[in-house]
Amino acid sequence: MVSDEVKRAAARERARKYRARKRESEGSARPERRDVQPGRVMRDAVDRSLAAMKWLTPSDDGAVSQARLLAEQVDVLTAEGATTKLLAAHRALSSVLGALAGTPTMRLQHELRSLRAAGRTDEEPDERDDEQERPDSVTAIPRPAARRPA
């Protein structure tokens, strides 16, 4: 009878050999990283987005740097064709941009919170909204009609 320790050691050895074979097969199919010239599609888009975010302050510099770094990583991974890592980098970038209120959903949530903080609701539109000039950081979004009558 074979002990559990021997079985685990055999399983570890099989896994090690499998990973080595997989690395060999992937290495020949994937181009060398130094041969790949990544584009700047995501980096340029993130730079434009960050430039348009008028509400950012110096205390946001860490998150801004992280967004730029993740955008560069997305471009590199796109050029390399590393799909799994690319999807993870996209999720991380979306999360950082959301934290900076750089996504439409987060901007809408911030605007709705500011309306609540000002003591107004969507049912009580302010006539001055159309007359007032909005700052660049506020998006004019028409509010949908109430689903249920009050």
What mean pLDDT do residues 15-32 have? 78
Look at residue 96 and tell me if it is in a domain: yes
Is the per-residue pLDDT at 123 higher than 60?
A: no
Mean pLDDT of the chain: 82
Phi/psi of residue 39, nearest 5 degrees: -80, -175
Neighbours of 41 (CB within 10 A): 13
Is residue 26 pLDDT above 80, yes or no?
no
pLDDT tens digits, one per residue of 67-82: 999 999 999 999 888 8
Q: pTM here?
A: 0.55
- Is 75 inside any structural domain? yes
Q: Does an H or E element contain 33, and which?
A: none
Does residue 81 fall inside a structural domain? yes
Q: Is residue 61 a contact partner of residue 70, using CB atoms and an 8 Å limit? A: no
Residue whose structure tokens are 């990283």: 33
142 domain residue, yes or no: no
pLDDT of residue 54: 87
129 located within any domain? no
Q: What is the pLDDT of residue 42?
A: 92
- Whether 150 has a pLDDT exceeding 90, the answer reads no
Residue 39: per-residue pLDDT:
83
pLDDT tens sequence across 28-68: 655 555 555 678 899 999 999 999 888 889 999 999 999 99
In a domain? residue 24: no
Overall number of domains in the chain? 1
In a domain? residue 130: no
Q: What's the domain range around 44?
A: 37-104
In a domain, 74, yes or no: yes
